[in-house]
Amino acid sequence: MNKKGPLYAIFFSLFLLLPGCSSLTVLNPQGPAAKTLSDTIILSILVMLGVLAVVYILYTIMLVKYRAKKSNEGYIPPHEEGNIWLEATWIAIPIIIVAFLSVVTVKTTHAVENVPADYKDQKPLVIYASSSNWKWHFSYPEEGIETVNYVNFPVNRPVEFRLYSFGPISSFWIPQLAGQKYAMSDMTTYLNLVANTQGDFLGRNTNFSGKGYAQMEFTATSMSSDDYDKWVKDVKSTASQLTEDKFKSLLATAHVGRETFSSTHLTFSPPPAEHSEHMDMDHSNMDHSNMEMSTDEHTHQSN
Amino acid sequence: MKVDTSKPLEYGTHENSNRIFGFWVFLGAEIALFATLFTVFFVLVNRFADGPSGSELFEIGPVLIETFLLLTSSFTIGLAVHAMRHQYKRAMLVFFGITLLMGLGFLGIEITEFVTYVHEGATLQTSAFLSSLFVLLGTHGAHVTFGFLWGAAIMIQLMREGINPATANKSFIFSLYWHFLDVVWIFIFSFVYLKGLM
Amino acid sequence: MNFDLEKFKVHGEPLIYGAMISIALVSIGIVVGLTVFRKWGWLWREWLTTVDHKRIGVMYILAALLMLFRGGIDALMMRLQTAAPDMKFLDAQHYNEVFTTHGLIMILFMAMPFIIGLMNVVVPLQIGARDVAFPRLNAVSFWLFFFGAMLLNISFVIGGSPDAGWSAYFPLASLEFSPTVGNNYYSLALQISGIGTLMTGVNFIVTILKMRAPGMKLMRMPMFTWSVLITNVIIVFAFPVLTVALALMMFDRLFGSQFFTMANGGMDMLWANLFWVWGHPEVYIVILPAFGIYSEIIATFSKKNLYGYTSMVASMLIISLLSFIVWAHHFYTMGQGVLVNGFFSITTMAIAVPTGVKIFNWLFTLRKGRISFTTPMLYSLAFIPIFTIGGVTGVMLAMASADYMYHNTMFLVAHFHYVLIPGAVFAVIAGFHYWFPKVFGFRLNERIGKHAFWWIIISFNVAFFPLFILGLKGMTRRMYTYSAETGFGPLNMISFAGALGLAIGFVILVYNIYWSTRYMPRDENGDPWDARTLEWATHSPIPEYNFAVVPKVKSRDPFWAMKHDKQPLFEEPITKIHMPSNTGKPFVLGVVFFFLGFFLVFSMWIPAIVAGVGVLIVLAAMSFERDHGFYIPADKVIKTEKKLGGGTV
């Protein structure tokens, strides 16, 4: 049965490729959130390789040993109803594996949904990231600046992205820094990340959103705190204001390059959770003041 | 075709007994359908946008008449099936006819209600709440409409053939359908209208 | 009426014109062929009006094979377009249409009908019945499915195909962002065939629960019948959700309602929830019967009874329950928080437990067996290691945190192909080879069959394994192009080579049907594989009444017991047999539904209303018809039995 040969070869070559292979973006994290996820993935691959090994070994034994051949002609296989202990074994062991992975899942999910553990004492930099067909808008409410298709932030400082969409659902992903999160027109979602190294990281929309989807990329740059302050100052002094008309024309343009403005669209086109009367189905009965509160809760991501 | 006389007429043949069981299974699917529509309605119930809310829109009067008509018609179709089992063709036809007329009355009021809503500016397009309201009520109403046509077809067959295993089976299945619509309406009445009026 | 020809046209692309011309040529060819060979009457009498479950099953499978090639060509085009960076073979719009229809067709118009076709052929035989509970309703199911599929297929050349992905997320699929009629086709074609599927669900539940041969208790049913029963229960509860979702989509697109819109309170994520509440059970609707098929084949060719019968049944029941409470794992990234994601992670991973039970039971069915490697067995054996990869990557994806990195990437694409191709496609191919001699009276050639098998198995891994790595490299799905700097090129090229290999494998598979029809010796005894269950107890090809005498079942694997333990199966004398008569109304109903759907797609209200009334008229005609079927007299049955030979009765 040589069909398992190539399978083994492919799978184990992947296994050898895994550790420290920088061409696998997902397993080459540059921030604590991405590191947690990368570790989780590698752990799960190892566990799953164990499971595969058990199945493949049993499979090989069965096929080699019990195949029809000249020597066992006339052999009449026995009637077997099953075996309670064997069956209990292959119920119990998977349950243990699943339970273990469930604990890992809940822990790591909790970790990446919040500000990374070592950075809790710092005040996060808030950036609103909104998508429209087919671009990303980044608004810095505190700095009062806005960019299109690129985002800068300081290294080693927590950043809280607040995501929403002016069109189809998109998914915000900077694979080397954090997992992804949907940006939707109906509610604001939150994504926390920290970059540990300076540099440019590719970010993109992963959720299909129409014709221009393939090009819907942006660059995320983490820079030293001084460089960041200098950049903000530059933008404030040199870039033009983002007027409502200008913003509307931006929304209507399918593809634009990088743009920089010295004011944000948040004033005339606020994000959904703080504006629309309903945030999601669970909160739909709340009145407006509760709404603000629940937004604050989200800011700290205490769930 | 073998007719088993120990069972009620509508269950008499193997095929007919299968049909009744099959219709129960189908009603299971119908429950899933209406459960989904109710879920959609509950999710969207507070999303009025610029349109009216339930309490601004609903009036209890016509809804009570609708409820009365449908509940009573559920009773009369039960009487029709009872008459059928005693081979009282005339009584059965009368009760069947009353059932369908009440269904028609229900539809008339429902359509009038819809027209009123639209005149008040509450249309399918106005808000998510109204979309879900019209589609939930409309799906029930469409079921009643279909039931009316189906019931009328069965009545014609009853008049032509009398009560035999085929017509008895159809009538009984129709009665199951009609009771089911009544149950759905009770949910609509309680959770759409009464809750909306509160 | 405002009649605007423009909206029917699909522009540009020699590809589209090519498709139009080939559709026209094939249609003309069929019409001319039927006329020249005077086959119209034959077609109508023997096929279009049939209510025989075996013929309906065969038509399902033929339609599914056709759709397999349509969907396969879509797949080839996608893999060619992404084989190298910056390819110019398809533009974004066409690529979007192609991957959307690929998904829709493969799941709904290939996998489902193939499985329903096998159900139709096999289940009544396995339970010793003469037909399904409602033969005419069965024909209605088929024709609704068939014309629904046709409606979706003509979208490619009339008006444009759906282009928002097979999951058609809103607001992308709304009128605002998808202004072509493509998603109207989506909502109507799926609706029409979905109603057919729902009717199938009702029909088979009643068939299996009420039509079993005397003595066949529930826990004596063959595993395939069990899987079909559970599948149809899932259909009955899951398809109404799709019905509602599609109706709301249609209202949004055609009548301006506000369910999923961005303004006026609409809620885009409501669609995603409804879609996956149906969509995830749908996966099990195609995979559970596959498990049943494998159980039959592995037992037969190990020459052993199925190991752990009770836990096999229990695991399927548990899977079917769990399938309804895992839907949110399709959008962990929606931001619903740790609690919700944690819950859905655990329910999803829990599915691995009953699935693992099945894998080990199959392995232990092999143990102490005497395994012969026939073509159907090869597919079943290949299923185990490949599907296990799909399964373990499924567990990896089920972990919500890790999914933040896999979601929407090629890793996901690789995973679900590793689940669905071995889990559904290999199964239907295996079942096709296994039951083919039952239906047609001769086997498919083993040598050609094995050639096809090796092409398919190896190419499958070449085509899809690289996608796991591409996913980890950060390549997302549904991108029609990428730049050279991404480094995605080489692996995509390998994957394209695999896709070509798969295409060759499927061509060989079909060639085998042709070759075997011409040259394979006709089977004499109806039991070519020395099998175990009741369907092999009758002749091949199967007489229209299935069994001359209704079998009396006294154990599991009753046919095996008859052959090896001399347990008598057919004890009663032959008497007259009652049969349902053919009817053309289901076919007509399908045609009328097709026109209703087509007119609604283009918002042509008056013709649509006419067609809607037409539907009611056909239904009324069915209600008024009194058809009591007919009897085949006993002496004719005896004559047929003699002619078919074989010593089973």
Pairwise pLDDT comparison (A23 vs C121), residue with the higher score:
C121
**What's the structural domain count of chain C?**
1
Q: Which residues pair with C36 in a beta bridge?
A: none
Closest Cβ–Cβ partner in B17, B25, B170 for C236? B25
Question: How far off is chain B from A171, nearest CA to CA, in Å?
Answer: 24
- ipTM of model: 0.95
Closest Cβ–Cβ partner in B29, B126, B130 for C236? B29
Which residue of B lies nearest to C236 if distances are taken between CA atoms? Answer: B29
pLDDT in tens, C531-541: 999 999 998 88
Kindly report the pTM of this predicted structure.
0.93
Residue range(s) defining the domain that contains residue C55? 7-285
Q: Would you state the pLDDT for residue A11?
A: 56
Return the closest-CA partner of residue C649 out of C497, C511, C545, C518: C545
Closest Cβ–Cβ partner in C370, C385, C404 for A75? C370
Under the banding of pLDDT at 50, 70 and 90, the label for residue C13 is low
Q: Which residues pair with A201 in a beta bridge?
A: A220
Q: Would you state the pLDDT for residue A282?
A: 40
pLDDT in tens, C633-643: 999 999 888 88
Closest Cβ–Cβ partner in C205, C206, C243 for B33? C243
What's A118-300's CATH class? mainly beta
Q: Strands A125-132 and C577-579: what pairing?
A: unpaired
pLDDT in tens, C96-114: 999 999 999 999 999 999 9
Is the pLDDT confidence value at A178 over 50?
yes
Cα distance between residue C394 and residue C416, in whole Å: 8
Q: Would you state the pLDDT for residue A301?
A: 41
pLDDT in tens, C318-354: 999 999 999 999 999 998 889 999 999 999 999 999 9
Under the banding of pLDDT at 50, 70 and 90, the label for residue C415 is very high
Is the pLDDT confidence value at A274 over 90?
no
Is the pLDDT confidence value at C6 over 70?
no
Tell me whether residue B146 is in a domain: yes
- Containing C92, the helix (H) or strand (E) segment is helix C92-104
Closest Cβ–Cβ partner in B18, B50, B135 for C133? B18
Peptide bond into C289 cis (omega under 30): no
- Over residues A101-121, the mean pLDDT reads 94
Question: How far off is chain A from C125, nearest CA to CA, in Å?
Answer: 24
Cα distance between residue C616 and residue C609, in whole Å: 11
The answer to whether C311 and C295 are in contact (CB under 8 A) is no
Q: Which residues pair with A161 in a beta bridge?
A: A127, A191
The answer to whether A149 and A106 are in contact (CB under 8 A) is no
Residue with tokens 């799909």: C390
Q: Which two tokens stand for residue C243?
A: 């019905």
Q: Would you state the pLDDT for residue A303?
A: 37
Pairwise pLDDT comparison (C644 vs B52), residue with the higher score:
B52
Tell me whether residue C424 is in a domain: no
Q: Which residues have a Cβ under 8 Å from the Cβ of C124 and sit 6 or more positions away?
A: C53, C130, C131, C132, C207, C211, C546
Contact A79 C392 (CB under 8 A): no
Q: Does C620 touch chain B (CB under 8 A)?
A: yes
Phi, psi of C222 (to 5 degrees): -60, 155
Phi, psi of A190 (to 5 degrees): -125, 140
The number of CA neighbours under 13 Å toward the Cβ of C133 is 26
Residue with tokens 């087919």: A134
Burial class from Cβ neighbours inside 10 Å (0-12, 13-18, 19+) for residue C261 reads buried
Q: Which residues pair with A240 in a beta bridge?
A: A261
Is the pLDDT confidence value at A291 over 70?
no
- Over residues C384-411, the mean pLDDT reads 96
What distances in angstroms separate CA C339 from CA A105, A297, B15, one per listed residue?
Answer: 11, 15, 50
Tell me whether residue C459 is in a domain: no
Is the pLDDT confidence value at A284 over 50?
no
Which residue of C lies nearest to A7 if distances are taken between CA atoms? Answer: C461
Name the least confident of A49-58, C13-22, C314-323, C360-369: C13-22
Under the banding of pLDDT at 50, 70 and 90, the label for residue A16 is low
Under the banding of pLDDT at 50, 70 and 90, the label for residue C649 is very low
For residue B105, what is the domain's CATH number? Answer: 1.20.120.80
Residue with tokens 């098998």: C453
Those residues of chain B that have pLDDT short of 50 are none
Peptide bond into C541 cis (omega under 30): yes
Under the banding of pLDDT at 50, 70 and 90, the label for residue C488 is very high
- Over residues A20-25, the mean pLDDT reads 72
Is the pLDDT confidence value at C51 over 70?
yes
Task: For an interface test with B, give the residue of C140, C191, C231, C244 to mutate (most B CBs within 10 A).
Answer: C244
Tell me whether residue C253 is in a domain: yes
Q: Would you state the pLDDT for residue A20?
A: 45
Phi, psi of B39 (to 5 degrees): -60, -45
Q: Which residues have a Cβ under 8 Å from the Cβ of B92 and sit 6 or more positions away?
A: B80, B81, B83, B84, B158, B163, B171
Q: Would you state the pLDDT for residue A18?
A: 52
List subunits contacting chain A, requiring 3 or more Cβ pairs under 8 Å.
B, C
For residue C65, what is the domain's CATH number? Answer: 1.20.210.10
Please say whether the dihedral angle defined by the alpha carbons of residues C531, C535, C538 and C539, taken in this order, is positive or negative.
negative
Radius of gyration of chain B (CA): 19
Closest Cβ–Cβ partner in C392, C403, C454 for A48? C392
pLDDT in tens, C504-546: 999 999 999 999 999 998 877 889 999 999 999 998 889 999 9
Q: Quote the DSSP letter at residue B192.
A: I
Q: Which two tokens stand for residue C607?
A: 């013709």
Q: Does B51 touch chain C (CB under 8 A)?
A: yes
Name the least confident of B151-160, C232-241, C560-569: C560-569
pLDDT in tens, A116-139: 989 999 999 999 999 999 999 999
Is the pLDDT confidence value at C221 over 90?
yes
Q: Would you state the pLDDT for residue C28?
A: 85
Q: Would you state the pLDDT for residue A123?
A: 93
Under the banding of pLDDT at 50, 70 and 90, the label for residue A13 is low
Q: Name chain A contacts of B47, Cβ cutoff 8 Å.
A: 277-278, 284
Contact B32 C237 (CB under 8 A): yes
The answer to whether C48 and C140 are in contact (CB under 8 A) is no
User: Which of residues 91 through 110 in chain B touch C, CB cutoff 8 A?
Assistant: none
Q: Would you state the pLDDT for residue C43?
A: 87
Contact B22 C133 (CB under 8 A): yes
Tell me whether residue C27 is in a domain: yes
Return the closest-CA partner of residue C265 out of B126, A269, B134: B126
Q: Which residues have a Cβ under 8 Å from the Cβ of C343 and sit 6 or more positions away?
A: none
Q: Would you state the pLDDT for residue A297?
A: 40
The answer to whether C459 and C426 are in contact (CB under 8 A) is no
Q: Would you state the pLDDT for residue C126?
A: 96
Q: Would you state the pLDDT for residue A14?
A: 57
Q: Name chain A contacts of C308, Cβ cutoff 8 Å.
A: 81-83, 87
Contact B25 C265 (CB under 8 A): no
Name the least confident of B120-124, C207-211, C425-429: B120-124
Q: Which residues pair with A153 in a beta bridge?
A: A222
Q: Strands A189-193 and A159-165: what pairing?
A: antiparallel
Contact C359 A55 (CB under 8 A): yes
Give all strands (DSSP E) within chain A, no chain letters.
Answer: 125-132, 135-140, 145-148, 150-154, 159-165, 170-173, 181-183, 189-193, 199-205, 217-223, 259-261
The amino acid at residue B14 is: H
SS3 C522: strand
**What's the structural domain count of chain B?**
1
Q: Would you state the pLDDT for residue C647?
A: 47
Closest Cβ–Cβ partner in B32, B127, B154 for C241? B32
The amino acid at residue C384 is: I
The number of CA neighbours under 13 Å toward the Cβ of B4 is 11
Q: Does B50 touch chain C (CB under 8 A)?
A: yes
Tell me whether residue B109 is in a domain: yes
Is the pLDDT confidence value at A150 over 80?
yes
Q: Does A278 touch chain B (CB under 8 A)?
A: yes
Q: Name chain B contacts of A278, Cβ cutoff 8 Å.
A: 46-47
Cα distance between residue A199 and residue A194, in whole Å: 13
Contact B47 A285 (CB under 8 A): no
Under the banding of pLDDT at 50, 70 and 90, the label for residue A12 is low
The answer to whether A154 and A225 are in contact (CB under 8 A) is yes
Q: Would you state the pLDDT for residue A7?
A: 55
Contact B47 A278 (CB under 8 A): yes
Closest Cβ–Cβ partner in C202, C274, C623 for B22? C202
Q: Would you state the pLDDT for residue C9?
A: 66
Contact B125 C237 (CB under 8 A): no
Angle at B68 between CA B63 and CA B73, to 5 degrees: 130
Q: Does B129 touch chain C (CB under 8 A)?
A: yes
Question: How far off is chain C from A43, nearest CA to CA, in Å?
Answer: 10
Under the banding of pLDDT at 50, 70 and 90, the label for residue A6 is low
Q: Does C251 touch chain B (CB under 8 A)?
A: yes
Tell me whether residue C429 is in a domain: no
Task: For an interface test with B, give the residue of A280, A281, A291 to mutate (most B CBs within 10 A).
Answer: A281
Q: What's the CA dihedral at C157, C163, C169, C173 to 10 degrees?
A: -70
Cα distance between residue C139 and residue A176, in whole Å: 55
Q: Would you state the pLDDT for residue C579?
A: 92
Is the pLDDT confidence value at C291 over 90?
yes
Cα C632 → chain centroid: 34
Q: Name chain B contacts of A277, Cβ cutoff 8 Å.
A: 47
Q: Name chain A contacts of C382, Cβ cutoff 8 Å.
A: 3
Q: Would you state the pLDDT for residue A294?
A: 39
Contact C356 A76 (CB under 8 A): no
Q: Would you state the pLDDT for residue C572?
A: 86
Q: Which two tokens stand for residue C9?
A: 């046209």
Under the banding of pLDDT at 50, 70 and 90, the label for residue A298 is very low
Return the closest-CA partner of residue C361 out of C405, C302, C427: C302
- Looking at chain C, the whole-number percentage of residues with pLDDT higher than 70 is 97
